[in-house]
A = this chain, B = another copy of it.
């Protein structure tokens, strides 16, 4: 039985690319140190800042919540948790409960936006009524709400739980579709562009998917184990992620060296999207056209664009909580 390279106790995992075995205590520290280092290396979080954590309840966002909650005491920043209840039956109920429990344990402030309360419809009903695939509608709604909440509460950034495998999958997908412009967004930090778009950070940028899973498992942290019942299988994303997994197995370290050289090269890619960005004519939040996707979507489902209405809803939701006045 392999022993921990640090303390000699029973190892629970081999870190192939770092060539060491670790026990659960040192594995946990190893992952947290990696996140700490990414935060420092990419300048993700400053002292005194307000960070909105987008937490679905899956392994990645639960690991994000746990790790950033710990680090917030060292780096002295204020994490807030945002959970969006999509109204997908039992799946959403379970997810919400898990997030509520994690928040109780870490004692962080929680903002829940319930889609059925906000729009009178679940994400599936929105998809059905708009005639669009549910994953696409879900993406529009989540991205919009994350940004809108961050803007209304004047957060310094929205943090998401995307891991290295997610990022590399997105980069390869954009490359296969030759959307070079989209590639430039896949960095650890996208700065705040203007009043319409909050900064975005990805603190798990250098953490493997397998690592967030091991982290939550060995620390007995509850997370949503079920896949979303609406999730499609055999998408290009899934197939690519699987290929990346095989690549790393055959060439340990390839994910790391890829992402590092990618970031070194980032300025060589055309960055046209920055020029194309504008403010939505309805809600004034960020948009790639005159009207943003969320306003277009709600126009289809409700007969009128609900961006401004949604911003007011969020404002009211935040009133009386301690998110204002910073």
**Which residues of A are in contact with B by a Cβ distance under 8 Å?**
172, 175-178, 180, 234, 236, 239, 243, 246-247, 250-251, 254, 258, 261-262, 264-265, 268-270
- Contacting pair B250 A234 (CB below 8 A): yes
From A177, which residue of chain B is reached at the shortest CB distance? B261
From A247, which residue of chain B is reached at the shortest CB distance? B239
Chain B residues lying within 8 Å of A269, measured Cβ to Cβ, are: 268
A228 smallest CB distance to B (angstroms) = 21
From A270, which residue of chain B is reached at the shortest CB distance? B268
A247 smallest CB distance to B (angstroms) = 6
A246, B268: Cα distance in complex, Å: 30
- Contacting pair B265 A176 (CB below 8 A): no
Chain B residues lying within 8 Å of A264, measured Cβ to Cβ, are: 178
One of B172, B177, B246, B262 near A239 (C-beta < 8 A) = B246
A254, B246: Cα distance in complex, Å: 20
- Contacting pair B234 A239 (CB below 8 A): no
A234, B176: Cα distance in complex, Å: 23
Besides A172-B175, A176-B254, A236-B247, 8 other A-B contacts (C-beta < 8 A): A177-B258, A178-B261, A178-B264, A178-B265, A234-B250, A239-B250, A239-B251, A243-B247
- Contacting pair B258 A176 (CB below 8 A): yes
Chain B residues lying within 8 Å of A180, measured Cβ to Cβ, are: 265, 268
- 26 A-B pairs with CB atoms under 8 Å apart are A172-B175, A175-B175, A176-B247, A176-B254, A176-B258, A177-B258, A177-B261, A178-B258, A178-B261, A178-B262, A178-B264, A178-B265, A180-B265, A180-B268, A234-B250, A236-B247, A236-B251, A239-B246, A239-B247, A239-B250, A239-B251, A243-B243, A243-B246, A243-B247, A268-B269, A268-B270
A254, B264: Cα distance in complex, Å: 28
Chain B residues lying within 8 Å of A265, measured Cβ to Cβ, are: 178, 180
Chain B residues lying within 8 Å of A246, measured Cβ to Cβ, are: 239, 243
Chain B residues lying within 8 Å of A172, measured Cβ to Cβ, are: 175
Q: Which one of A178, A251, A261 has the greatest number of beta carbons of chain B within 10 Å?
A: A178
A238 smallest CB distance to B (angstroms) = 10
From A238, which residue of chain B is reached at the shortest CB distance? B250
